[in-house]
Copies of this chain bind each other. A is one copy, B any other.
């Protein structure tokens, strides 16, 4: 709380300095802050005050701050639009390439072309190269600001290279070793450089077993490698081992967050990343799923409608509809979550397919049997009718087993067909399982109709 107060006071002082044209005081205090806090301050300003910032700070100084503002910030376009185009282009050139590309990707093509045309040819071509990598691949999240050296030199000369590049490189803690053709042949950490003798040769110290990812690799796989190996950065190569860039751990944290939010959103049937307090907007994003599922639910309703005579004869059957559909839906959701999670962490998608679905069905049989026996006893004693209890129990057993089958099979199939398995949302599985549960329930009830009435 104290830190927050301190920051608030500083922000107030900075705003005053801005308004009163105390350029030097403003710059001293502003540049002393961490770039994240600079970003917080900048985003709290009115456009008028932001215009002052553009005249007080160099494009490079603004770029450092923009490097940490999330590119999915809704005002980003506004910020760029209000800067002089050449100032904005200079700032984009000064940003780390991966962040500049992320930012440009939120703009339309015409604007991208405008800013690229205002940059130096070198900067523009570096950005253009990254712009065309497919979304969610290593290429799309990598940056080109890395330090690479040749093997045939001493630690001293490598440190000299490092000193010169330290200002522009996104990380200097790994130094990548390339051959004449620019192919990755080794890696050495700054830690190794520091503890070893200045006259030692890089070729003797470097690790030749250097782990790299391919430029087209899925970002989730890259994240998994970071998790396994605890790296701070990983080199990215093309299919001929040429070093193209590096992925750093801060980008991987964003990837992990995004993937988690997307799995979570899938299970809930709502995009939790676009949180909005405007009820009409929020509703308009949730309604497509709800209405789609309403129509799927209508098929359940028309199925029950088909059995209406049965219900009017034995209205007791209506009592247990929601219990059976609800419990089967819960079991199906559990299966779905396990299947989606397992698909996310497993490397051996192809082997586990049949085994996982089978395991889920068997789990369904066990949970269904226990739940079925429980409800058999409850209904038997409650309604003094053990045949009715048997009908409900059997329906429960089969409904849960089928729900587990659907909950595991559908995400598996989607994964096989190349879709994100997390799209098979929880609400979809429960609504589908409503249909199968009702079908099972009324069929079993028809069979035993003569006995429990």
A→B interface (CB under 8 Å): 32-34, 36, 68, 159, 162-163, 166-167, 172-173, 190-191, 194-195, 209, 211, 226-230, 232, 249-250, 252-254, 256-257, 260-261, 263-265, 267-270, 272, 275, 277, 279-280, 282-283, 286-287, 289-291, 293-294, 297-298, 300-302, 304-305, 308-309, 311-312, 315-323, 325-327, 329-331, 333-334, 336-338, 341-342, 355-356, 359, 362-363, 365-367, 370-371, 374-375, 378, 382, 426-427, 430-431, 434, 438
Contact = CB atoms under 8 A, between A and B. Distances in A.
Contacts of A312: 312, 315
B209 A291 contact: no
Given A260-B264, A279-B365, A378-B298, A291 B191 contact: no
Contact of A294 (B283, B289, B327): B327
Contacts of A308: 315-316, 318-319
9 closest Cβ pairs, A-B complex: A268-B337, A260-B260, A279-B362, A312-B315, A283-B366, A318-B318, A270-B334, A330-B427, A272-B341
Contacts of A300: 322-323, 326
8 contacts: A232-B232, A260-B264, A282-B366, A291-B370, A298-B323, A304-B321, A325-B326, A334-B427
B326 A293 contact: yes
Given A34-B211, A227-B257, A337-B270, A322 B286 contact: no
Contact of A322 (B32, B227, B297, B382): B297
Given A260-B256, A268-B333, A337-B264, A355 B430 contact: no
B253 A226 contact: yes
Task: Give the copy number.
Answer: 2
Given A162-B194, A194-B163, A267-B267, A297 B318 contact: no
Nearest to A365: B279
Contacts of A270: 333-334, 337-338
Contacts of A305: 316, 319
A195 B163 contact: yes
Contact of A209 (B34, B228, B267): B34
Given A167-B195, A320-B301, A331 B264 contact: no
Nearest to A310: B315
Given A34-B209, A334-B269, A338-B272, A325 B323 contact: no
A261 B326 contact: no
Is chain A's binding surface mostly helix, strand, loop or mixed? Answer: helix
A230 B250 contact: yes
Contacts of A287: 367, 370-371
A338 B261 CA distance: 11
B209 A279 contact: no
Contacts of A33: 209
A327 B430 contact: no
Contacts of A230: 36, 68, 250
Question: Which one of A287, A355, A382, A438 has the greatest number of beta carbons of chain B within 10 Å?
Answer: A287
Question: Which one of A36, A227, A298, A322 has the greatest number of beta carbons of chain B within 10 Å?
Answer: A322
Given A297-B322, A322-B322, A367-B290, A337 B265 contact: yes
